[in-house]
Amino acid sequence: FKLALLNYTYGTNGVPTDPPTIVNLIDTLQMARDLAEARARKPHFILVVMHWGLEYQLQENAEQRQLARFLIRNGADLIIGAHPHVVQPVKMESVVLPDGSRKQALVVYSLGNFISNQQKPGTDGGLLYQVDLLHRKGVPHAELGSHGYLPVWRYVEKKANGKTTFYTLPVSAYERNPDAAPGLPLSAQNAMLKFTEGVRKRLNGNREFSVNDTKPYKF
């Protein structure tokens, strides 16, 4: 099973990229060349990771959609995005290819945050996104199987000794068994549920996964 993985970013926030450092900037001419080379190597599936979009925007913008469709036309089978620091929609995008056929691919526009100290609304959590790829013997291309998201929420514990500890909590484990997170303050519980409610509204229609592990978190 051969997977092609490409990644691109809008920039580096001023961090220099002196050799031997290599950073793949968003440049559609170069991206088209890269995807052509990837296709020539005959992978079963092409995944592109994008660092794109505008910070703190709960919806993808026109540029993200345009880039996503450009990538799909050039061979991308799955696109995973980051940078906005908030969860953005997950959609199946469809394009018309030069031969008149249609190609669609899953686009996760932004996974949000996993661990961060950001305080703006919606930045206190993110997604784990699971995809199953199906490859049948003798078939040159893998198919996207079941897929869905698992919301996670960041809890910041500030102890009396001045130490700060960051936790990433799978929301479904807490919802199923609140005792799985003993010591979680009511304010934190409410913040977790508020974050999750917003994510579920944004991802309405997408499958949500849960975790079976309810081992207690010790705060």
Mean pLDDT confidence for 11-18? 89
Q: Return the number of other C-beta atoms located less than 10 Å from residue 215's C-beta.
A: 9
Tens digits of residue pLDDT in 72-92: 999 999 999 999 999 999 999
| CA nearest to 88, candidates 116, 65, 114, 109 | 109
Q: Is the pLDDT of residue 34 over 70?
A: yes
Q: Where are the domains of the chain?
A: 3-150
Tell me the pLDDT tens digit for each residue of 180-192: 776 789 899 999 9
- 10-19, 27-36, 165-174, 203-212 — most confident range: 27-36
- Residue 212, pLDDT score: 67
Which segment of 85-94, 141-150, 202-211 scores lowest on mean pLDDT?
202-211
CA distance 135 to 151: 28
Q: What is the tens place of the pLDDT at every residue in 37-73?
A: 999 999 999 999 999 999 999 999 999 999 999 999 9
The SS3 call for residue 3 is strand
* Nearest-10 crossing angle of helices 62-73, 28-40: 30
The encoded tokens of residue 56 equal 């703190």
pLDDT at 164: 93
* pLDDT in the model for residue 159: 86
pLDDT band at 153 (very low <50, low <70, confident <90, very high): very high
The DSSP output letter for 58 is S
The rounded mean pLDDT for the chain is 93
Q: What is the DSSP string of 98-161?
A: TTS-EEEEEEE--BB-SS----STT-SEEEEEEEEEE--TT-SS-EEEEEEEEEEEEEEEE-TT
pTM beyond cutoff 0.85: yes
Q: What integer pLDDT is reported at residue 213 of this predicted model?
A: 42
Cα–chain center distance at 163: 30
CB distance 143 to 114 below 8 Å: no
Distance CA 161, CA 118 (A): 22
The DSSP code for 15 is: -
